[in-house]
Structure 1
Amino acid sequence: MAIELRPLTHADAEAHCAGEDEATVRWLTGGYGTIEGTRAYFDVLAENAAAGRGKRGFGVWRDGRLAGYIDFDPDGGNGLEPGDVNLAYAVHPWARNAGLATAAVLALCDRLRAEGTGRRAMICVEAENTASVRVAEKCGFRRAGSLTSATDTHGDGSPVVLDRYLRDL
């Protein structure tokens, strides 16, 4: 599958927000974005990219259309060890079940390796998110235990338990 990863701009905010659905909110964002808030978030990602630190993100493009999102954060938190880079992603509903997330994860791992960013990639996922577990496994990640999220909670306030998947870069 031919995809392209490229930085998101203000012009992409509407398509990005239109691609959010219940699954995106449940597994990744925790709430629906607004155009204004999304543009501000894209600005933060661009500032981080320019500074070479913090979370950096990309739109996942297929056939000239925004089909999803992927980001990476090499700066610690949520079970990261030195040299680990956390990955997170979402695919818009129209583009699901076509290998897009797998292609995006592999492309980002290749990019991180080429840039010398980190030594291992990590995907943290709830076991019930079977689609994301399959992506991790298809991309050669191996399950490396669980962790209790320091930031994510369920609706009842209980902490989210995430399975950690690791892959050498």
Structure 2
Amino acid sequence: MDIALRPLLIEDAASIVAAEDDETVRWFSGGRSTVEGTRAYIGRLCEDAAAGSPKRAFGIWGDGECVGTIDYDPDVTDALDPGDVNISYGVAPWARGQGVASRAVVLLCEFLEGRDVGRRAAIRADTRNPASARVAQKAGFEELREARSTEEAGEDGVPVVFRVFVRPFAGQRQSCAS
């Protein structure tokens, strides 16, 4: 499958909602999406970007079809170090297991490497989500540590524990221990 990233457009809302399932809701969005709500979310992202917010979101396109979304946010600090840029992604159920998420993460890292956004990409994989950890590893990230969230809790109210994976940007290559 040929994978490409494209900034989200309001007209992508229906495709994004169609790509969502229970796993997407659980690990990525946190709630069921609607076309109207997704349009509003994309509109807010555009307004925030115009106001200087560094968060950006993209559609993941596979062979011309929306198969998920991916975003980056350098303002996320929970379980991360200064200079880390958090990456989050969700892939449609029919596109999982085909390397789509890891390819999208690599493409986003390549995009970020040419910009002054941070010093390394980071993926916070919930310890209950081994698929997310596999994506990070396949995309060339190294595991840094496990960290208890100070902001997110599971369905049982217990703080989420993340496996934190990092990938330094080009020109920033160094040991994860530094």
Range class of TM-score, shorter chain: over 0.9
* Residue matched to 1:88: 88
Q: Indicate if the aligned counterparts of 1:72 and 1:86 stay in contact, CA closer than 8 A.
A: yes
* Residue matched to 2:56: 56
Q: Take 1:48 and 1:58, find their aligned partners in 2: how far apart are those partners?
A: 15
Q: Indicate if the aligned counterparts of 2:57 and 2:69 stay in contact, CA closer than 8 A.
A: yes
Q: Take 1:151 and 1:46, find their aligned partners in 2: how far apart are those partners?
A: 25
Q: Which amino acid aligns with 1:47?
A: E
Instruction: Give the C-alpha shift of residue 50 in structure 1.
Output: 3.3
Q: Which moved more, 1:87-96 or 1:149-158?
A: 149-158
Runs (5+) with no aligned partner, structure 1: none
SS at match of 1:145: strand
Instruction: Give the C-alpha shift of residue 51 in structure 1.
Output: 4.0
Segments ≥4 residues shifted beyond 6 Å = none
Show CA shifts across 1:98-134 (max 9, x none).
1110110000000000123211100001122121111
* Residue matched to 2:173: none
Q: Take 1:56 and 1:159, find their aligned partners in 2: how far apart are those partners?
A: 26
* Residue matched to 1:166: 166
* Residue matched to 2:7: 7
Show CA shifts across 1:33-60 (max 9, x none).
1112111111122223334423210000
* Residue matched to 2:33: 33
Q: Indicate if the aligned counterparts of 1:7 and 1:46 stay in contact, CA closer than 8 A.
A: no
Q: Indicate if the aligned counterparts of 2:67 and 2:92 stay in contact, CA closer than 8 A.
A: yes
The TM-score, its normalising length taken from structure 1, stands at 0.93
Q: Which moved more, 1:104-113 or 1:89-98?
A: 89-98
Q: Take 2:36 and 2:149, find their aligned partners in 1: how far apart are those partners?
A: 28
Q: Residue 156 and residue 127 in structure 1: after superposition, are their counterparts in 2 closer, same or farther (change >3 A)?
A: closer
Paired residues, number: 169
RMSD of equivalent CA atoms: 1.5
* Identical-pair percentage: 49
SS at match of 1:47: helix
Q: Which amino acid aligns with 2:159?
A: P
Show CA shifts across 1:48-83 (max 9, x none).
333442321000011111011000001242123221
Q: Which amino acid aligns with 1:100?
A: V
> Does 2:118 align with 1:118?
yes
Show CA shifts across 1:4-54 (max 9, x none).
211112211111111111111111122111112111111122223334423
The TM-score, its normalising length taken from structure 2, stands at 0.88
* Residue matched to 1:97: 97
